Amino acid sequence: MAKSRTKRGHAGRRDKRLPKGPHGGVQLLLIQSVTDLGSHGDVVEVKSGFAHNYLLPQGLATVATDHHKRMVEKHKEKLLEIERTRLAGLKALAGNIGRQSVTIEANANDEGHLYGSVGAVEIAASLKQLNYHITTDQVRLDGPLKELGLYTVKVHVAAEVEADLKVWVVPTVEAEDPATEQPAEQ
């Protein structure tokens, strides 16, 4: 007569395969970040049921073996190198933007006050003409520019990378139309 497996006996046998943590839980290595638990590559200790019913079946974690830990470390190193390269490129972009200046024409009265204002949309459009693809939310203004003059505007390239852009706001030059000119009297 064969022994039947009880639910308790089956679960107990599964727990033996998973490494135990110092607090009696199961030690797992997170493959993906899990809210309120840890980020990618962290070794966490969770209850057995959470490990078997959620983390392992969803592919969010794996057994915390030395081999898996080494693989995660190699992967982290590659990600760090990619991030360093990306950050160097963004710093170079910020340096190039910082060496630029843009000129924006606007209608103004005789005192130099603009009839409208110059904002992030106009500045981003001017940078786009220079082949810098900057969105309007990357242009950081304290407020709209309402007078003629030279301004230094922050361009937020990335989380910790900003550039100072020189923005000239100049009056609109109206081209004279030869058809509307009065002929000189002879």
Residue 129, C-beta contacts closer than 8 angstroms, at least 6 positions apart? none
Global confidence as pTM:
0.58
Domains and CATH numbers, the chain: 10-70 (3.40.5.10), 98-171 (3.10.430.100)
pLDDT band at 183 (very low <50, low <70, confident <90, very high): low
> For residue 108, how many C-alpha atoms fall within 13 Å in the half-sphere facing its CB?
20
| Per-residue model confidence (pLDDT) at position 123 | 95
The β-bridge relationship of strands 161-171 and 101-106 is parallel
Lowest mean pLDDT among 9-18, 57-66, 69-78: 9-18
What tokens appear for 136 in the block? 């309007």
Q: 1-51 pLDDT, tens per residue? A: 555 555 554 444 444 467 676 777 888 888 888 888 988 788 888 998 898
> Whose CA is closest to 147, among 127, 133, 128, 167?
167
CA distance 76 to 84: 12
